[in-house]
């Protein structure tokens, strides 16, 4: 019998929290034999809803769920956590610019960084989901200097999964047969979904996506903008964020990080740049990574064409601007 792992979900009374908490409690994130204690944090105005979420989690009688702590106290929430999923924040609503939400969020992430640093376990793994995800993660990293920087990541797996799904729909093949797309850069509309190294497993071996799709016009234009704009399209249609697919992607991100990526497969994660592919250190940037024994490493040596280079640099530039804007918002 394994020891339970403590998983913190901030913003747990919100849309993503409601989809994510039961997935974690069912073993989707950490495996079917890993007991879980959920730590759910939200703010005072959401306390009653948060408590209702706790009641439902208890009522679901998940065999892996060994405890639920629902609290508005950030110290209690962070105490002893092994995995922290940072979903809480001030969300972008329809028609709102990401920049409008920046100043509210940097203050939240600065404060929560300190609580995690003081109270989480030493090797706590952090996934930031709340937007602006890369920059929130960077603020968290900078204000929690004792947490190893490799432990602080942000979610671009949803964009990665959306890219796999677009290819699967276009080619009418099972999505599980498509792999090795890449999301480069920011979780925003400047992200670069790159299919140049992506493949499909077919009856006659692995084939390149570019070769199978055989429509560079579509791949270089509509495919990219569809993935970039997918979050906005769902907000427009649902009047709420893409909570189901975001929760699922958060599970995929942590699952692969902790339990490893399949041989020959990489995934996209927002991680602290080590200067790979000429992306300046000091940014949380989405790269292709493989994971083994709980550690990610950036896939090196991929050939980068001129078209890709420009898009990778443009999204890096946006992240640099976001970083300075975030710092100017800090009191
Ligand atoms: P939501 O508004 O339904 O939930 C957010 C929750 O955070 C609310 O319950 C709110 O009370 C809580 N909260 C606010 N301040 C907090 C604080 N200081 N501490 C703890 N909790 C706090 O929003 P939703 O739809 O669940 O989205 C959450 C975030 O995830 C948003 O920022 C959204 O933009 C982002 N998102 C990111 C995606 C990604 O792929 N990285 C995809 C979809 C959404």
For residue range 171-189, what is the model confidence (pLDDT) as tens digits?
999 999 999 999 999 999 9
Residues 87 and 46 sit within 8 Å (Cβ to Cβ): no
Cα 277 from chain centroid?
A: 21
Secondary element (H or E) of residue 135: helix 133-142
Secondary element (H or E) of residue 52: helix 47-59
Choice between 131 and 284, residue whose per-residue pLDDT is larger: 284
List, in sequence order, every residue forming a beta bridge with 9; answer none if it has no partner.
Answer: 40, 85
CA of 259 from ligand 1 middle (Å) equals 26
List, in sequence order, every residue forming a beta bridge with 21; answer none if it has no partner.
Answer: none
List, in sequence order, every residue forming a beta bridge with 288; answer none if it has no partner.
Answer: 268
Residues 155 and 246 sit within 8 Å (Cβ to Cβ): yes
Q: Is the pLDDT of residue 39 over 70?
A: yes
CA of 91 from ligand 1 middle (Å) equals 5
Residue recorded with tokens 């929130």: 136
Cα 90 from chain centroid?
A: 16
| Annotation marks residue 39 as catalytic | no
ipTM confidence: 0.99
SS3 category, 199: strand
What order do you get walking across the sheet with 199-202 strand by strand? 178-179, 199-202, 205-208
Residues 6+ apart with CB under 8 A from 12: 20, 21, 40, 41, 42, 50, 53, 70, 87, 88
Q: Residue 178 — left, alpha, or beta (φ > 0 → left; ψ -120 to 50 → alpha)? A: beta
Classify residue 166 by burial, with Cβ atoms within 10 Å: 0-12, 13-18, 19+.
Answer: buried
Taking residues 199-208, report their average pLDDT.
97
Q: How far apart are CA 247 and CA 307, in angstroms?
A: 32
Taking residues 111-125, report their average pLDDT.
96
CA of 272 from ligand 1 middle (Å) equals 22
For residue 129, give the DSSP letter. -
Q: Give the pLDDT score at 103.
A: 84
Q: How far apart are CA 157 and CA 96, in angstroms?
A: 23
Q: How far apart are CA 16 and CA 12, in angstroms?
A: 7
Q: Give the pLDDT score at 265.
A: 98
CA of 233 from ligand 1 middle (Å) equals 18
Mutation to probe ligand 1, out of 134, 183, 241, 243 (largest number of atoms < 8 A from CB): 241
Which residues approach ligand 1 with their CB closer than 6 A?
A: 10-11, 13-17, 41-43, 46, 87-89, 91-92, 108, 129-131, 133, 155, 158, 187, 231, 241-243, 246
Taking residues 4-20, report their average pLDDT.
98
Using 50, 70 and 90 to split pLDDT, how confident is the model at 328?
Answer: confident
Q: Give the pLDDT score at 99.
A: 66
Alpha helices in 201-331 (DSSP H): 209-213, 216-220, 222-238, 243-259, 306-329
* Other Cβ atoms within 10 Å of 151 Cβ, number: 23
240 CA: nearest ligand 1 atom:
25
Give me the residue spans of the domains in the chain. 5-154, 157-324
Cα dihedral 24, 89, 108, 146 sign:
positive
Q: Across all residues in the chain, what is the average pLDDT?
A: 96
Q: Give the pLDDT score at 289.
A: 99
What is the CATH code for 157-324? 3.90.110.10
Q: Is the pLDDT of residue 287 over 90?
A: yes
92 CA: nearest ligand 1 atom:
34
For the chain, what is the largest distance between any 2 Cα atoms, rounded to a whole number of angstroms? Answer: 59
Choice between 267 and 91, residue whose per-residue pLDDT is larger: 267
Residues 6+ apart with CB under 8 A from 312: 184, 185, 192, 277, 278, 279, 304
Cα 168 from chain centroid?
A: 21
> CA distances (Å), 95 to each of 224, 239, 286, in order?
21, 11, 25
Using 50, 70 and 90 to split pLDDT, how confident is the model at 329?
Answer: confident
Cα dihedral 9, 11, 17, 22 sign:
positive
Q: Which of 39, 119, 160, 187 is catalytic?
A: 187
Which CATH class for the 5-154 domain?
Answer: alpha beta
Taking residues 299-306, report their average pLDDT.
98
Taking residues 226-240, report their average pLDDT.
95
List the residue whose alpha carbon is closest to atom 1 of ligand 1: 14
């Amino acid at each position: 019998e394994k020891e339970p792992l403590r998983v913190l979900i901030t913003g747990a009374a919100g849309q993503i929290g409601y989809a994510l908490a039961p997935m974690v409690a069912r073993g989707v994130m950490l495996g079917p034999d890993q007991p879980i204690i959920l730590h759910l944090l939200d703010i005072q105005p959401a306390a009653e809803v948060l408590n209702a979420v706790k009641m439902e989690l208890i009522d679901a009688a998940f065999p892996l769920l060994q405890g639920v702590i629902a609290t508005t106290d950030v110290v209690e929430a962070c105490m002893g956590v092994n995995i922290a999923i940072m979903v809480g924040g001030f969300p972008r609503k329809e028609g709102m610019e990401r920049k409008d939400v920046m100043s509210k969020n940097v203050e939240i992430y600065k404060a929560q960084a300190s609580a995690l640093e003081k109270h989480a376990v030493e090797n706590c793994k952090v996934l930031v989901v709340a937007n602006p995800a890369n920059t929130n993660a960077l603020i968290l990293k900078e204000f929690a200097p004792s947490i190893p920087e490799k432990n602080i990541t942000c979610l671009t797996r949803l964009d990665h999964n959306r890219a796999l799904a677009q290819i699967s729909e276009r080619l009418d093949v099972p999505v599980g047969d498509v792999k090795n797309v890449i999301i480069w850069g920011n979780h925003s509309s400047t992200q670069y979904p790159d299919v140049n190294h992506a493949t499909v497993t077919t009856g006659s071996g692995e084939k390149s996506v570019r070769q199978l799709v055989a429509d560079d016009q579509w791949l270089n234009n509509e495919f990219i903008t569809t993935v970039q704009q997918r979050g906005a399209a769902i907000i427009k249609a649902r009047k709420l964020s893409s909570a189901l697919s975001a929760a699922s992607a958060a599970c995929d991100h942590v699952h692969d990080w902790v339990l490893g990526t399949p041989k020959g497969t990489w995934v996209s994660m927002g991680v602290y740049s080590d200067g790979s592919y000429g992306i300046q250190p000091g940014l949380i940037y989405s790269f292709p990574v493989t994971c083994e024994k709980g550690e990610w490493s950036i896939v090196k040596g991929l050939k980068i064409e001129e078209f890709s280079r420009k898009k990778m640099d443009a999204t890096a530039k946006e992240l640099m601007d976001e970083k300075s804007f975030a710092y100017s918002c800090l009191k």
